[in-house]
Amino acid sequence: MALNLLMLGPPGAGKGTQAERFARSRRIPRISTGDILRDAVHAGTEIGRRAKAIMDRGELISDDVMIGIVRERLERDDALRGFVLDGFPRTVAQASALDDIMDGRDPLIVIDIVVPEAELVRRLGTRLICAECGTNAPIAGGAGPCATCGGKLVQRADDNQAVVLERLKVYHRQSEPLVEYFRVRPTFRSIDGAQPADRVAADLAAAVLAAGNVGVGGGRR
Ligand code: AMP
């Protein structure tokens, strides 16, 4: 059975870090739409050129573009054995398209990472990422080079204070309704993302196990 995991939560909740760690431990791909878009910006593709200005304002790329990107990615062979989806869906229209894409596949397990707003603002204001490979630096990591590739650590273009506040506003308006969309499913769980990363990882693994048990034959899909 494929482990199809969807991570919900506001920017700064730790979705990327936890998704990466979980995907590596289960040997399934982590699919981050933010990373796909940042790669497109870096590569200077047509989508990347159009996405950059929108991302720099903290707004969302159109549903059509995002659904197309994710549909193509989820149909690749490596994702048929399971995946961790991080950053998608971000609107109810994207969630409904995802349900269509997943029709006939194993159920989605949906984990919502909950973190108080003040903590999100603090984290996003101090977060550093590697300019080379995009990895998040540990929150209390100091100013050294990237632990993964030795690259230089920099602030993400959309982590400056004005854009952070806009991204949180966009989250509450457009993405938070997704929690209600998915909450009614037996494969939905919330976890406390304000704890140290190791505890969050342990809670995530336990929540996936519990949701997966009810999900076999019991979830919507
Ligand atoms: P993230 O790395 O997930 O915080 O995404 C960074 C930025 O990419 C977001 O602020 C959006 O501008 C854009 N983005 C990523 N995923 C999506 C999505 N599913 N729908 C629309 N825009 C997205």
- pLDDT grade for 140, boundaries at 50, 70 and 90: low
- Residue 23 pLDDT > 70, yes or no? yes
Distance, CA 25 to ligand 1 centroid (Å)? Answer: 25
The predicted structure's pLDDT at residue 52: 96
Instruction: Name the one residue in this structure whose structure tokens are 């193509």.
Output: 72
- pLDDT grade for 141, boundaries at 50, 70 and 90: low
Closest CA to 34 of 161, 138, 124: 124
The predicted structure's pLDDT at residue 218: 43
The predicted structure's pLDDT at residue 136: 82
199 is catalytic: no
The predicted structure's pLDDT at residue 213: 84
167 is catalytic: yes
The predicted structure's pLDDT at residue 21: 96
**Ligand 1 atom showing the smallest separation from residue 94 Cα:** 19
Residue 6 per-residue DSSP state: E
CA pair distance 73, 101, nearest whole angstrom: 11
Burial class from Cβ neighbours inside 10 Å (0-12, 13-18, 19+) for residue 113 reads buried
Distance, CA 214 to ligand 1 centroid (Å)? Answer: 30
Catalytic residue among 21, 30, 38, 90: 90
| 11 close to 115: Cβ distance less than 8 angstroms | no
Closest CA to 32 of 53, 57, 12, 7: 7
pLDDT digits (tens, 9 = 90+) for 66-98: 999 999 999 999 999 999 999 999 999 999 999
Task: Tell me the sheet residues that pair with 30.
Answer: 84
Mean pLDDT of the chain: 93
Pocket test residue of 30, 36, 38, 55 for ligand 1, highest count of atoms within 8 A of CB: 55
| 22 close to 84: Cβ distance less than 8 angstroms | yes
Name the more confident of 88 and 143: 88
The predicted structure's pLDDT at residue 18: 97
Task: Tell me the sheet residues that pair with 53.
Answer: none
Mean pLDDT computed over 179-189? 97
Catalytic residue among 30, 156, 185, 189: 156
Number of neighbours of residue 65 by Cβ within 10 angstroms: 15
Write out residues with Cβ below 6 Å of ligand 1. Answer: 11, 33-34, 37, 54-55, 58-61, 66, 87-88, 90, 94, 158, 167
Q: Where are the alpha helices (DSSP H) in the chain?
A: 15-26, 33-43, 46-57, 63-74, 77-80, 92-101, 117-126, 161-170, 177-183, 197-215
